[in-house]
Amino acid sequence: MNRPAPTLAALAALCLWTPLAAAQSSQGPVPEVLLTNVAGAERSGVPGLPGVRFEPGTGTTHFDRVYGHPGGHWILTAHADLPSGEDECLIADGELVLREGDPAPWTSSGERCGTLDRRCSINGRGDLVFATNTSASALDDFLPIRWASGTWDVAAREGGPVPGLPQGTLDDAIDSPLMLDDGRVGYAADGIDGVASTSEDEVLVLGDGLLLREGISVPPGQANGGARPLENLDLGDFWAAADGSSWLVLGDLEGPTGEDDVVLVDGEVVLQEGAVVPASGFAEPIATNGIHGAAMDGAGRWFVRGSNAQTGDDWIVAGPGAGVLCSTGEPVAQGSLERWGDSRHPDGFMGATGNRMGDHVVIGATDHPDPSLDTVVVLNGRHVVAREGDGVDLDGDGWANDGFFIDGFGEEDLVLTDALDLLVVVTLRGATGAREGQALVRLRLDPGVGSVICAGVANSTGEGARLVALGSEVLASNNLSLRAMDLPAGAACVFMFSRMPGLVLQPGGSQGQLCLGGSVGRFLGQGEVGPSSEGGLAALEVDLTLLPGGGVAGRPGPGDTLYFQAWYRDRHPGTAATNNLTSCVAVTLR
């Protein structure tokens, strides 16, 4: 469903509150429920299991953490309302992959799938990997792969070799899997055989390479010039860029427990318990057990949330080079009176992540006087795009009119795509305020400047392509970018603009509608024309001082309106090549 992009003024209203307005929540994009265990809800059925519903209840473990790829694919484990031993389900992109108790399709010996680890992974092609054991009496730990083609394989299994360690074999535990875009798999393994002692039997692997080994690896960058070996790795906290160019893991060093927790990026310590966050300006060190969680996005940017000793102030740090993104007491967004706060939520922040376009989101608690509205989602430090208390679309009609509202956000339960779709696991409450269940929701975050004046016509993806203008309409800042979404993968795309609107249906045999009038300028410079990404996305940085065609009637000034649209190639199955157009956005400069 295409909706007008909210104006900057409307978005700013989300960030501002007064005690008189504290009982109300200004709602941004409507969260669409993809999966839920709310009794009787349309999307409470387990995909692929007719008549079976998700396990009812009001806890936070019916749906596990969602993992995903910035191109749009996602995966998680969830519990069906079935007997123990049959209830765990692996779901990817809304389809059931398999469930506990199913025949294991990667073996031919009649084994059945066992329990599913929470950590799973999916890449840009839709290849996926997860960790499980089977009903075999021995050698039963597996990392199965299902390729996008539907065929199955095994990345690692108990009894198999340890890459980079010829004498080692995998044994007790294989976990924390991740899948790169080129099909390489990473994982952690504990209790391996063939090593000198149990203090050296945990390893971290990526593809055919051995990254780290307990008791042997001495990560550089330790506080106070330390040189302590790695003692263990944290379960489930292994991340990598989509191309494998960078990786992150949480672990512990040997030695005193008040300074042993570390965040390693490419094998080097970037944060350490008991030490001050580098270049932060903080006076206090990171508290004991003060590293609460971490993630790395598809571009290799990392995000860590934690808290300091003494003050207990919470923070989110990003790298490389970004520093402290936010901390207790700071405004939640530019110009906001609302500030990050942890008086009612001990950890302060629930999570942060990014995409490959440089965007990031933060979820955290605030000082809002109403405790039913005091957790927010902030995009790029500028826009509050969702809030506790927001209504959700439970039945898929596009409206928050079903009487259900966000009750809370799961810790680290979020994925941000390049197309600015946010996937997040939440708890839901009803109109009475009582918690009713859990849900995986999707929010389309396009808090662009300007307004949509016409929609895109459906293309071969089944969607009308959207165009969003991001940044600022302030001419002097010259900070405006365009992002075309829901394009066919690999489609040639050209961005255009004009100084007046128009409407031409199916121009030149196109399937779309041209909403630009008068003279049209085309962005044809070096790097401005190219194919869309595998996720159907194309982007352009607009230089307002150097628009094509001489600005199509002179250089624009404050008060002028620019109209933007993108043309792209397309092909429907069984038909000749054609072309289409995105929605059109009008931006009035000031």
Q: 526-559, pLDDT tens digit by residue? A: 889 889 987 788 999 999 999 998 777 788 999 9
Range scoring the smallest mean pLDDT among 240-254, 313-327, 565-579: 565-579
End-of-domain residue from the set 444, 476, 506: 444
Cβ–Cβ < 8 Å for 405, 429: yes
Tell me if 292 is assigned to some domain.
no
Residue 8 pLDDT exceeds 90:
no
Residue 22 pLDDT exceeds 70:
no
pLDDT digits (tens, 9 = 90+) for 33-84: 999 999 999 999 999 999 999 999 999 999 999 999 998 999 999 999 999 9
How far, in Å, CA of 165 to CA of 149, rounded? 32
Range of the domain at 440: 7-72+297-444
Residue 314 pLDDT exceeds 70:
yes
* Same domain membership, residue 348 and residue 213: no
Cβ–Cβ < 8 Å for 273, 265: no
Instruction: Show Cβ contacts of residue 514 under 8 Å, excluding neighbours closer than 6 positions.
Output: 502, 503, 504, 507, 565, 581
Enumerate the β-bridge partners of residue 113.
Answer: 134
How far, in Å, CA of 581 to CA of 504, rounded? 11
Strands (DSSP E) contained in 158-213 are 161-162, 165-169, 173-179, 185-190, 203-206, 209-213
Enumerate the β-bridge partners of residue 384.
Answer: 378
Cβ–Cβ < 8 Å for 561, 567: no
Residue 137 pLDDT exceeds 50:
yes
How far, in Å, CA of 515 to CA of 412, rounded? 41
Instruction: Show Cβ contacts of residue 100 under 8 Å, excluding neighbours closer than 6 positions.
Output: 85, 86, 87, 88, 89, 113, 114, 115, 116
Cβ–Cβ < 8 Å for 440, 36: yes
* Same domain membership, residue 553 and residue 458: yes
Tell me if 68 is assigned to some domain.
yes
Residue 93 pLDDT exceeds 80:
yes
Tell me if 82 is assigned to some domain.
no
Tell me if 243 is assigned to some domain.
yes
End-of-domain residue from the set 274, 308, 325: 274
* Same domain membership, residue 266 and residue 130: yes
* Same domain membership, residue 133 and residue 254: yes
Three-class SS state of 128: strand
pLDDT digits (tens, 9 = 90+) for 178-198: 999 999 999 999 999 999 999
Tell me if 80 is assigned to some domain.
no
* Same domain membership, residue 351 and residue 473: no
% of the chain beyond a pLDDT of 90: 80
* Same domain membership, residue 511 and residue 394: no
SS (H, E, C) 87-122: CEEEEECCEEEEECCCECCCCCCCCEEEEEEEEEEE
Number of domains the chain is built from: 3
* Same domain membership, residue 248 and residue 114: yes
How far, in Å, CA of 566 to CA of 495, rounded? 4
Amino acid type, 362: V
Summary mean pLDDT of the chain? 91
* Same domain membership, residue 231 and residue 108: yes
The CATH code of the domain that includes 525 is 2.60.40
Tell me if 291 is assigned to some domain.
no
Tell me if 144 is assigned to some domain.
yes
Q: Read off the tokens for 369.
A: 């006087």
* Same domain membership, residue 407 and residue 377: yes
Three-class SS state of 166: strand
* Same domain membership, residue 178 and residue 123: yes
pTM of the shown model:
0.85
Query: Where is pLDDT greater, at 123 or 9?
Result: 123
User: What pLDDT score was predicted for residue 492?
Assistant: 94
* Same domain membership, residue 541 and residue 440: no
Tell me if 2 is assigned to some domain.
no
Q: What separation in angstroms does the CA of 519 have from each of 191, 454, 484, 507?
A: 69, 18, 22, 15
DSSP 247-302: EEEEEEESS-GGG-EEEEETTEEEEETTSPPTTS--SSPEEEEEEEEEEE-TTS-E
* Same domain membership, residue 177 and residue 193: yes
Mean pLDDT of 105-132: 94
End-of-domain residue from the set 383, 411, 444: 444
% of the chain beyond a pLDDT of 70: 95
